[in-house]
Amino acid sequence: MEFRKTAGKPIRCRAAVARKAGEPLVIEEVIIAPPKPHEVRIRIICTSLCHSDITFWKLKDPPGYFPRILGHEAVGVVESVGDGVDEVTEGDNVIPVFLSDCGECADCKSKKSNLCSKLPFKVSPWMHRDETSRFMDLNGETLYHFLFVSSFSEYTVVDIAHVVKVDPAVPPNRACLLSCGVSTGVGAAFRTANVEAGSTVAIFGLGAIGLAVAEGARLSGASRIIGVDMNPDKFEIGKKFGVTEFVNPASCTEKPLSEVIKEMTDGGADYCFECVGLASLVQDAYACCRKGWGKTVVLGVDKPGAEVSFSSFEVLHSGKILTGSLFGALKPKSDIPILVKRYMDKELQLNDFVTHEMRFEDINKAFDLLIGGNCLRCVIWMNK
Amino acid sequence: MVLTRPSQTAGKPIRCKAAICRNPGEALVIEEIEVAPPKTWEVRIKIICTSLCHTDVTFWKLSTGPFAVFPRIFGHEAVGVVESVGEQVEEVSEGDMVVPVFSPHCGQCRDCLSTKSNICTRFPPAHLPGMPSDGTSRFTDAGGHPIHHYLYVSSFSEFTVVDVNNVVKLDCGIPADKACLLGCGVSTGVGAAWKVAEVEEGSTVAIFGLGAVGLAVGEGARMLGASKIIGVDLNPAKFELGKKFGFTDFINPSDLTEKSVSQVIGEMTDGGADYSFECIGLASVMQDAFNSSRPGWGRTVVIGMEMQGAPLTLNSYELLRGKTIVGSMFGGIKAKTDIPILAKNT
């Protein structure tokens, strides 16, 4: 009912605009164009801050672009749809996702990949299909998109391939978590690693991603979940997600971290997950995993162009497997509803991921909290 | 020394010829040596034939580091006949045809019992210079000085002593000159396609380096029904040879002026190869192989042993895009169970 007045017309609303790299976002009025064919205009209910937003917020050069509307983890309601969109309609609750799921290309059809090749993943400043923007500030200047979502705005426009319909019964401050972080971690444990019951798992970096991996490993029946983090406060928090033991690399003074973990696990962990986005940590994780069958999974997003280095001799002789994934190898449209159901059935825990909630006006505080290392997910409500 | 009745030499040292490397990179010298009888759990083998593998060459040249030990008897790809066995050995007996292997298979440790690994953890790594059980040598030269072993095999000798965990019995009547290839190169290549990559029918495969190992990977991929087998080599003569092993396409990197090898492979395979294999031992080629694999499900297998100790460097973002890389010793083969299977299928 509320949307019939705005369909087909530009909407004027508030957005938190990143005008300069690393500087606080500015809440200002912007103009959101109506959706073109295959697009959906969404009124955001709430959005949460993910570390990848911070990584690209700080980046002065492409793929850092300014002025930009950041944010990619969110939940909202469809305000209007462009031509050719049948999958969702006005009033539907939806989760926008940075990863496309067109359902038609060879990759979307294959069980072995979640990387849509029709609309491939990239850190783009535009809408996916026509590479233009739907955002303008009040001076008529174009504002750039982020990860095809741009959720730090009361309204946004997203390609239908990046939209997942979701049960409205899920509280919004839980649904938004499945838009990126928690799905990535849980998916990595289930699908990228395929952790089996009785496994030993080591998780490097106990942010929301790492703890989501722990949650996924717990649900998969891992017997030991070792959390590695420089912040001792994370251990208490980690216990809620199934972390059984804790190692602080800062206290590994006599022996290197890899020796400590190999001793704890009689040779190395079956699965190691890097959840920060640091080459040196990826190398540590690889060193900590078991010779012969150990698998190291890279989830953390490092700066563009980052490289990891290994001893070729070690790679050959250890037989260890090194891999990684985006969005935990999950296919957004089919897998997010599965996670939603598991949450509603009280199997998947989401509540403890939300450590802070705030109003849209206070969005910059969320950045401070996440950079300070003292929060997991800060949920920002657009209209409270 | 011609062995006609093994029972005459059992329990005694044997005098025979061996090709010894006295200094790194120097021509091997054929000398008379003495081979001690096998201790408990060991087997003394009369070598019928042995083949040269590039890894022998790599270690032969090595002048620095913990693996550079001389004088040494190289060779690790061979076939022979059991001359005598030490105490406790029941698995093989005098007269059996056996392939000694550098990759041990005790059958009892956690890794041997797992289907997911072929890295037996019973013994220390094979690069140590002595016997796996006690680190000592069974070889002495004419002056009475010990000569180091190599990869637990040391097949460039008329007789050698090998731990029973490094011995595979063959009883299917395979000719000796085919059997010795199963000791390393061919098993490694076929195994990499079969067990490590698990190439399935219709797959696209890219193989970097068309030596014996690379050609064996091609053969393995062909047997498994790969639809496209792309060979990458700087030597155009390898292309004709490769056709015999099932290769369908060839790329010579020195012919490419504008595009990189991985770009060309990406175009040939509509996005990247399902499986890529590095079969040379050069970190830069391992990187090329990784870059040539398909995002989402592409798997790269590193088989070559890096010749200069260069590190393997990968782009983090390619890992996030779902590419997998794994190194493999002996192509994932569990010697005692898998080599007889390969021998039967030869």
Determine the Cα–Cα distance for residues B154 and B129; give it in Å rounded to an integer.
Answer: 10
pTM for this entry = 0.93
What residues contact residue A164 under an 8 Å CB cut-off, 6+ apart?
A94, A95, A96, A97, A101, A332, A333, A336, A337
pLDDT exceeds cutoff 80 at B344: yes
The overall longest dimension of chain A from CA atoms, in Å, is 68
Determine the Cα–Cα distance for residues B215 and B207; give it in Å rounded to an integer.
Answer: 8
pLDDT exceeds cutoff 80 at B334: yes
Tens digits of residue pLDDT in B28-59:
999 999 999 999 999 999 999 999 999 999 99
Question: pLDDT at position B173, please?
Answer: 85
Choose the closest CB to A322 out of B117, B295, B325: B325
Choose the closest CB to B302 out of A277, A315, A325: A315
Question: pLDDT at position A1, please?
Answer: 46
Q: Which residue of B has its CA nearest to A327?
A: B320
Under the banding of pLDDT at 50, 70 and 90, the label for residue B202 is very high
Choose the closest CB to A316 out of B114, B310, B329: B329
Each of the 384 residues of chain A gets a pLDDT tens digit; together they read 466 689 999 999 999 999 999 999 999 999 999 999 999 999 999 999 999 999 999 999 999 999 999 999 999 999 999 999 999 999 999 999 999 999 999 999 999 999 999 999 999 999 999 999 999 999 999 999 999 999 999 999 999 999 999 999 999 999 999 999 999 999 999 999 999 999 999 999 999 999 999 999 999 999 999 999 999 999 999 999 999 999 999 999 899 999 999 999 999 999 999 999 999 999 999 999 999 999 999 999 998 899 999 999 999 999 999 999 999 999 999 999 999 999 999 999 999 999 999 999 999 999 999 999 889 999 999 985
Question: pLDDT at position B138, please?
Answer: 98
Determine the Cα–Cα distance for residues B239 and B259; give it in Å rounded to an integer.
Answer: 20
Tell me whether residues A324 and B321 touch, CB distance under 8 A: yes
- Whether the complex's predicted ipTM surpasses the cut of 0.90: yes
Over residues B3-31, mean pLDDT: 89
Contact list, B119 vs chain A (CB under 8 Å) = 291-292, 317-319
Smallest CA–CA separation between A310 and chain B, in Å?
A: 5
Phi, psi of A90 (to 5 degrees): -45, 135
Peptide bond into A67 cis (omega under 30): yes
Question: pLDDT at position B128, please?
Answer: 81
Contact list, A262 vs chain B (CB under 8 Å) = none
Smallest CA–CA separation between B174 and chain A, in Å?
A: 30
Contact list, A323 vs chain B (CB under 8 Å) = 319, 322-325
Q: Which residue of A has its CA nearest to B331?
A: A319
Find where tokens 């029918």 sit. Answer: B201
Smallest CA–CA separation between A76 and chain B, in Å?
A: 27
Over residues B150-166, mean pLDDT: 97
Over residues B289-297, mean pLDDT: 97
Among candidate residues B153, B120, B128, the one with its CA nearest the CA of residue B334: B120
Tell me whether residues B327 and A316 touch, CB distance under 8 A: yes
Among candidate residues A279, A86, A96, the one with its CA nearest the CA of residue A183: A96
Smallest CA–CA separation between B115 and chain A, in Å?
A: 9
pLDDT exceeds cutoff 70 at B78: yes
Tell me whether residues B116 and A312 touch, CB distance under 8 A: no
Choose the closest CB to B296 out of A113, A277, A310: A113
Choose the closest CB to B316 out of A302, A318, A320: A302
Question: pLDDT at position B95, please?
Answer: 95
Tell me whether residues A298 and B283 touch, CB distance under 8 A: no
Under the banding of pLDDT at 50, 70 and 90, the label for residue B5 is low
